[in-house]
Structure 1
Amino acid sequence: MSISVLVADDSKLSRRSVIRALPQDLDYTISEATNGQEAINLLAETTFDLLLLDLTMPEVDGVGVLEYLHDRASTLNVIVISADFQPEKQKIVISLGAKRFLRKPLDKEELAMAMFELGYL
C-alpha cells in the first residue's frame, strides 16, 4: 500500500531532508509544496494520507494551512516540523488538528515514532 504524502516547506533543502527521513520500509507517493498557498491548492485537488508541514512559509504560513484544514473538518494526519518550538505555537497547531509537533532539524527516529503512533508503521 502506498502512502500519499505532501511535504510543505519553503526550503528545498528542508523538503529533501524530510523526504530522506521517511522510514525506508514503506512505499510513498510524495508531492511537494513550496509555500502554504501551494499546499492549500494541492490539498483542495488531491487526497493525501499525511501532511508534513513547516510553519514559517511565505504567502500562507503553516498555521494558515491548518486553519484551512480545520475549517473543512479535515481528518488528514498532520505532523508539523518546525524550528519555531514555542509552547504557545505548539498549543495553537495542536488545537487546529496537528497530530505531532517535531523540531527542526528533524530526527529520523522521532519521525518514525510519530508515524508509528499514527498507524503507518
Structure 2
Amino acid sequence: MIKKILIVDDSPISIKIIKSCIPKDKDYELFDAADGQIGVEKYRELKPDLTFLDLTMPVMNGFQALEEILKFDQRAMVIILTADVQIKAIAKAHDLGAFSVLKKPPAKESVAAAIKEAEDALTERG
C-alpha cells in the first residue's frame, strides 16, 4: 500500500502540477525535493513507497539520483517524469531500474494509473 510519495523536481510549478494530479481520496503523505541530491537524501530519510523523479535537474540529474536511490533500496518504486521523451532516455531510465516513465506535463489520469500500477506491483512483491 502506498502511503508516502516523494516528488523530486527542480521546478516548483512541476511539483505543484504533479501534486494536483495525485488522487485526493487516498490520504497520501506528499514530500518534495528541489534537486536530485536533496531527493536522494530525502529518500534515505523518509523511505517513501513511491517516488516521482524528474530527469533534468541541477546538482544531480535524475539518472544519477535513480542510481543512488536504487543502491540504497533495490526495491525502490521510482516513476520518471520527463519532458525528454526520446527513446534513448526512456530506455536508459528503464535499464537503470525505473518502474515507469511518464511524459511531462502529466495528465491526471496517467498519474493516477501509474500510482495504481505501482500499488499493484508492490502488492505482488509482498
Tell whether the structures are fold-level matches, with TM greater than 0.5.
Answer: yes
Counterpart for residue 124 of structure 2: none
CA contact (8 A) 2:63 2:93 kept: yes
Q: Percent identity?
A: 34
Equivalent pair of 1:2/1:27 in contact (CA under 8 Å): no
- State the TM-score, normalizing by the size of structure 2: 0.88
TM-score normalised to structure 1 length = 0.92
Partner of 1:109: 109
Per-residue Cα deviation, 1:60-103 (whole angstroms, up to 9, x for no partner): 00001111123335211111111011111111111111111000
Work out whether residues 2 and 26 of structure 1, in 8 Å CA contact, stay in contact via their aligned partners in 2: no
Instruction: Show structure 1 runs of 5+ residues with no match.
Output: none
1:80 corresponds in structure 2 to 80
For the residues of structure 2 that align with 1:95 and 1:2, how far apart are their CA atoms?
24
Number of aligned pairs? 120
Name whichever of 51-60 and 61-70 sits farther off: 61-70
Q: Structure 2: how far apart are the matches of 1:28 and 1:8?
A: 16
Aligned twin of 1:53? 53
Calculate the aligned-residue CA RMSD, in Å.
1.5
Moved over 3 A (4+): none
Could you tell me how far apart the structure 2 residues matched to 1:69 and 1:41 are? 9
CA separation in 1, counterparts of 2:66 and 2:48?
Answer: 14
Alpha-carbon shift at residue 2 of structure 1 (Å) = 6.6
Moved more, 71-80 or 53-62: 71-80
For 1:94, give the aligned amino acid. Answer: H
Task: Mark the runs of 5 or more structure 2 residues left unpaired by the alignment.
Answer: 121-126
One-letter code of the match for 1:25? D
| Conservation of the 8 A alpha-carbon contact between 2:44 and 2:72 | no
Whose strand proportion is higher, 1 or 2? 1
CA distance in structure 1 between the partners assigned to 2:113 and 2:2 by the alignment: 19
Shift of 1:24: 1.9
Matched residue of 1:74: which SS? coil
Which of the pair is proportionally richer in helix? 2
